[in-house]
Structures are given as C-alpha cells and as structure tokens.
Amino acid sequence: MHGKEARKVLKIEAEAVGALIRRIDKKFDEAIGLLSECRGRVIVTGMGKGGLVGQKISATLSSTGTPSLFLHSAEAIHGDLGRVTKEDVVLAISNSGETEEVVRLLPLIKKIGVRLIALTGNPRSTLGRHSDVTLDVSVKKEACPLGLAPTASTTATLAMGDAIAVCLLKKKGFRQEDFAFYHPGGALGKRLLLKVEDIMRRGAANPVVKEDALVRDVLLKITEARAGAASVVDKSGQLTGIFTDGDLRRHVESDKHLVVRKVKDVMTKAPVTIPKDHLASEALRILKDRRIDEVPIVDAKHRPIGMLDVQDLLKAGLV
C-alpha cells in the first residue's frame, strides 16, 4: 500500500546524494586540508536535525582517527564555547545557513581565531559567507511531501560528512588495526586485539597430567575441570601429548581395558600448540584448519600453561 510513496522518498534522497558528486571540487580539497592539518579537534556544531546529523559525523570522525567533539550550538553560546581552542577546526551545520544559534557563534569563533568549515544548503547565507570553506549540500526538494521535515537535506549532509571522514581516514593512513583500537568492544576489535592468554583456560580449568597417569584418572581430572581435554607432560613438565574426547572415542570400542591404560599409550602425541601471545583470531584459524576443538597453550620451555577450547572463542564472540 505504501510502497509507491516509500520508493519516491528513497529516489528523492538518492538523487540528493548523487547531486553532491558534482560538487566535489577544490573547496572540498581545501576542507580536507584544513581538517587533516588540525592540531586540535574537529568541533562539529549544529541545531535540531542538523545537530543530530552532526553528532553522527563527529562520532564517525573520532572512530576513524580524527579527534572530534560535538558542540550543541545553543549550549555553546551559554558557556560551552570555552571548549573551543585555536588549535581546533569548527565544522558548522545549518541547512538554511541562518540558524540563529549557529549564526550567533560566528563572531565568537572568529575572535578565538579558529578556522570554520560550513555544511549548508545555502552557500550565500550568513554562515556560508563567513566561513573559511563552504561546502554546498543543498537539495532540490525534501522527501517530506510538505517540504518541511528535514529528510533529503539531512541525508545529503550526512553523506558529505561520511565523504569527509573517509578522505581523512585515507589521508592519515588509518589502518584496520587502528579502527579496532577505537572499537575494542566490537567484533573487529575482538578479532584483532584479543590474545590467547586473555581467554585461555588456566589453573584448575586446565587439567595437566603425567604420561604414566591412568586413563580413568585423566578422565576424572577432565570431568572435574569441566574441560574437553587434558595436556600430558613428561617428568620435566614439558608437553608431550594431549588426551581428548576424540582419543577416548577412538579407543573405547576396541580396548576393553582402556581406563587402566597409561595415557601416554592412547594420547595424541606432539599436538599442535600455540604461544600465549598469539592473537585469538589466529588461534581460531588454526583450530579450523586442523579441525580440532582444543589446543594447549605453552610457554617458551614448551610447558603447558593453558588450554584453548573452541567454546572459549565462541564465548569471546570470535565464532
């Protein structure tokens, strides 16, 4: 029923964004130059819907290597302008370019001596004329049938903000690892920053047995630890094998006396191991490639100090 109207809205907004492509010129390059050379922060300011878009632009800048702060225009003229320094660059958003609170900031910004970039739908406006660089984000019409609610105009402004952020990202050589640093709680941050030692099982949760231990005793230790495997060591404490649920299944049907066998006779010898400082993402790749569920974590002397189970990776959000 509403599909026709929805498609109309999306078409109008798509055209508004598409129109910006032709406006990427020397002014845009100048804006990127000012922002990339900024020794302070990019102060994004605006009111109403423009302010909400500004908050998103500021957040995107901050998460991609350009320190940024959103400053509400009304709050700025009531004391918060003290957050702005000469080292900053102000990015002001106003579709009309005549938003009272934004315009009232102009002489104060000039007095501080900070550079000003405008995102406006009216380059000839007060904001546009008094900015160091003015970027035109005007639209032919809003998607709102009444022409009142900011729709296409906010979409265009947001898209221009994304273009700015991405250009700065590339200019600064911002890497995937840098992005992960600013997003340690996200999936990417976990994949790139989480180390094996952060999630491995240790202590009582990491059963370690001697080579001469009987399988029944090993099974008891595994059960008590609620683990899926036990590391097997020689007299010097060095890892020589691992006994897993898979080893148990392989021998239980063919060997009636399995539980009284020495674990060294039925274990998996010379198992795959991982140092504790390896990235968890690398450990996940190893588990997948080797088609195993557990891997012992060893120190420099090849002594087991932990165990990593695929379930641990699952809990960490890596699977």
Query: What is the pLDDT tens value at each position of the chain, 319 positions in all?
Result: 688 899 999 999 999 999 999 999 999 999 999 999 999 999 999 999 999 999 999 999 988 888 899 999 999 888 888 899 999 999 999 999 999 999 999 999 999 999 999 999 999 999 999 999 999 999 999 988 887 788 999 999 999 999 999 999 988 887 766 666 666 666 666 666 788 999 999 999 999 999 999 999 999 999 999 999 999 999 999 999 999 988 888 888 788 888 899 999 999 999 999 999 988 888 888 999 999 999 999 999 999 999 999 888 888 776 6
CA distances from 250 to 245, 267, 268 (A): 9, 10, 11
Cα(first)–Cα(last) distance of the chain, in Å?
A: 41
- The pTM score is 0.64
What is the spatial distance between Cα 292 and Cα 296, in angstroms, rounded to a whole number? 11
Question: What does residue 90 show for φ and ψ, rounded to 5 degrees?
Answer: -95, 130
Domain with CATH 3.10.580.10 in the chain: 196-315
Q: Does 72 count as an annotated binding residue?
A: yes
Token pair 């998996």 in the structure block, residue: 268
What is the spatial distance between Cα 208 and Cα 221, in angstroms, rounded to a whole number? 8
CB 269 within 8 A of CB 260: no
Which of 66, 10, 76, 15 lies closest to 41, judged by CA?
66
Domain with CATH 3.40.50.10490 in the chain: 3-174
Architecture of domain 196-315: Roll (3.10)
Fold entry, domain 3-174: Rossmann fold (3.40.50)
